Amino acid sequence: MRTQLARDLGLEFPIFAFSHCRDVVAAVSRAGGMGVLGALYFTPEELEIELKWIDEHVDGKPYGVDLVMPAKVELPEGVNPDDLEGQLEQMISPAHREWVEKVLAEHGVPPLPEDSDGGHHLLGWTDATARPQIDIAFQHAPALLVNALGPPPADIVDAAHERGIKVAALASSPRHAQKHVDIGVDIVVAQGTEAGGHTGEISSVVLWPQVIETIAPTPVLAAGGIAHGSQIAGALAMGAQGVWTGSIWLTVAESDMTPLVIEKLLAADSTQTVRSRALSGKPARQLRTEWTDAWDRPDCPGYLPMPLQYMLVADVMARVSRAQNRELTGMPVGQVVGMMDRVRSSRDVIRRLVEEYVEAVDRLDALNA
């Protein structure tokens, strides 16, 4: 399974694991894959702590950092970057805030305690807020910098290359993939609609070969719906240089998910996800819940554009989690949730994927015997 990209990055297996949990990132890298830390939800100060910990626990193995720098977030004229969050908060209509409170009241979800800091609202959804995170990442030693929404800024690609860091970006169409290559991205993650989180409309098995052929010889990682080694064999057979996984790491032993979230993920089948704008304003696949259903109600005032939607619902997620409300509790996750049936260690997941890959390749070899 050692593709050329795996050799270039010093990996035993070309299995990339996206996770917001540093323990998962370190465990996957130690097991021979590459853990990639989702940095969106961290302030620069928090990200410094996380990356310092990973540096100390990854045993010198390579890891990556995933950021969100959407190229098409257009801020209104006159917005002062020094008070970006405050001014954007004022743009959220009272009607939206009242409706959100109405839904929470229907489910008996109380407000956060008065001494709560309310969490982070703006995060790295904009270029201005993502750049401080990048500055922190550059102070550490990631082997890979990934942009999850649109092409990363060209100057960031150049800065990463100057530091010997490869750059990857997610794409949901061949056209998006070509844009990434045109600005110097080293690796394109072709993500099918089955994937969790922000994703497009094209299924993986249709998307992967299109992207691989469009941008050859640029390496492609296949993403969206991968939870079995036979799927890795299929992706590599199409010409991918590795696979990008995310959902399967939500229920590993090292995961920091709450017991309720893990319980719901293990119980869900592959029909119980939905692409919804309820999280960020852009389509993102997640567990279908009474919260996602509420956004289709006639009394709903409609979705807000990024980053306003997330700023509206950030406290909602914190309140639902604190209340452990089963009906509203959800999580970005792909359709492979139906294949996530038990808690395993990250090392065991890697081992199982490799064994299943070998079995799949052996079956193909037998056909040609």
- Say if residue 243 is in the same domain as residue 140: yes
- Say if residue 63 is in the same domain as residue 111: no
- Say if residue 247 is in the same domain as residue 261: no
Q: Specify the CATH number for the domain of residue 24.
A: 3.20.20.70
330 part of a folded domain: no
Token couple for 81: 């970057």
202 part of a folded domain: yes
- Say if residue 92 is in the same domain as residue 236: no
- Reported pTM: 0.93
23 part of a folded domain: yes
- Say if residue 263 is in the same domain as residue 142: no
337 part of a folded domain: no
- Say if residue 138 is in the same domain as residue 264: no
Report pLDDT digits (tens) over 314-327: 889 999 999 999 99
At 122 the pLDDT is 55
335 part of a folded domain: no
Domain ranges, residue 91: 81-121+257-323
Total domain count for the chain? 2
- Say if residue 31 is in the same domain as residue 160: yes
Q: Are strands 273-276 and 284-287 parallel, antiparallel or unpaired?
A: antiparallel
- Say if residue 49 is in the same domain as residue 196: yes
- Say if residue 94 is in the same domain as residue 139: no
The answer to whether residue 46 scores a pLDDT higher than 80 is yes
Report pLDDT digits (tens) over 330-342: 999 999 999 999 9
- Say if residue 89 is in the same domain as residue 66: no
- Say if residue 352 is in the same domain as residue 300: no
% of the chain exceeding 70 in pLDDT: 92
Report pLDDT digits (tens) over 171-203: 999 999 999 999 999 999 999 999 999 999 999
At 89 the pLDDT is 82
pLDDT (average), residues 43-67: 96
